[in-house]
Amino acid sequence: QVRLVESGGGLVQAGGSLRLSCLASGIILRNNAMAWYRQAPGRHRELVARIGRAGETSTADSVKGRFTISRDNARSQVHLQMYNMKPEDTAVYYCNTDPYSNNWGPGTQVTVSS
């Protein structure tokens, strides 16, 4: 059974930083492209950053230059480092495969105050 558990969210002021982590179980992480998604109130879930099996990365235009995704296959973890955060980054953040499966975790709330 695939289980994804996100952590590291919290309240941060604009311009601040946070590092999110995702611990995956029931899945061989190195065999999957992984991604971070987020969903703000009243909005659809969107892909924020993606990392391929070979480590190649891409990010959404809205976070380009501010967010960095990484993976640690040995520890079955995926991370999202966020810098220079903005109030519009406020959302619940989730990790999942790319393309995503139905195995969504609880997510972690990120709130950026202005």
**53-96 tens-digit pLDDT:** 999 999 999 999 999 999 999 999 999 999 999 999 999 999 99
- Give residue 16's identity as a one-letter amino acid code: G
Q: What per-residue confidence (pLDDT) applies to 62?
A: 97
- The pLDDT value recorded for residue 17 is 98
DSSP summary character for residue 65: T
What three-state secondary structure class fits 12?
strand
How far is the C-alpha of 55 from the C-alpha of 40, rounded, in Å?
27
Asked whether the beta carbons of 96 and 40 are under 8 A apart, the reply is no
Q: DSSP for 57-100?
A: EEE-GGGTTTEEEEEEGGGTEEEEEE-S--GGG-EEEEEEESS-
pLDDT at residue 60, as a whole number: 98
